[in-house]
Amino acid sequence: MSAAGPPDRQVSPRRIGDHGTVEVFVADEQTELIVDVARYRALCHEVLHHEGVRGDAQMALVFVDEATIAELNGTHMGNDGPTDVLAFPIDDTYVLAGRSPDHATRRPPGRDPVLQVGPLLIGDVAVCPAVAARNAPGHRDSYPGHDGSAEAELDLLVVHGILHILGMDHAQDAERVEMQAAERRHLHAFRGSVEQRGTAP
């Protein structure tokens, strides 16, 4: 991946679609961990909303097993073995790899926003619950509210992946600080909304 200068925010993916609603497609294609699909659909909607995504827009979140994410990691990143999350912005030809192991990445400089007819296709996020569950105890207290559970780790990975497809990165220190602050903000807001409803979304 290119390690050029700081990203130009003016060429970040556009976030406003035509008239319509934001759609989030969530699929659970693994059997290693029970995943609350409704919870993660709600989390995606909240993050997209708070990040200013409006109108006719779509994203997909898929939970996959270790073999699948290892294959994706090898094909798109050239890395051996599974990772926890991969992000595929639709308007790019590259992939952004996950938190553990952390593959700091850069998006190509000077890209143009997507120009298309139909729904604004934001991107796809692939998460591996098995890797998340294995890493979760070691990430306890890495964020306020992270209790070391697989659910807390999955919450973080979903938010992390969405921020990537919306143009955020962590290749440089300033970017990392900005992205981590956004993650904390979204996770705190989501926990508050879940508590307010009294049950999981």
* pLDDT above 70 for 134: yes
Average pLDDT over residues 41-59: 95
- Which pLDDT band holds residue 199 (cuts at 50, 70, 90)? low
Percentage of the residues of the chain whose pLDDT score is greater than 90: 66
Q: Phi and psi (nearest 5°) for 75?
A: -65, -45
What does the pLDDT look like over 109-133, one tens digit per residue? 444 444 445 788 999 999 999 999 9
Average pLDDT over residues 51-80: 95
Average pLDDT over residues 147-169: 96
**Residue 109: other Cβ atoms inside 10 A:** 12
Average pLDDT over residues 55-66: 96
Domain boundaries, the chain: 13-192
Average pLDDT over residues 169-191: 94
Q: Which fold has domain 13-192?
A: Collagenase (Catalytic Domain) (3.40.390)
Q: And the tokens for 126?
A: 């692939």
Cα gap 117→147, rounded to integer Å: 43
Average pLDDT over residues 148-176: 95
Nearest Cα neighbor of 81 from 92, 97, 94, 93 is 97
- Which pLDDT band holds residue 8 (cuts at 50, 70, 90)? very low
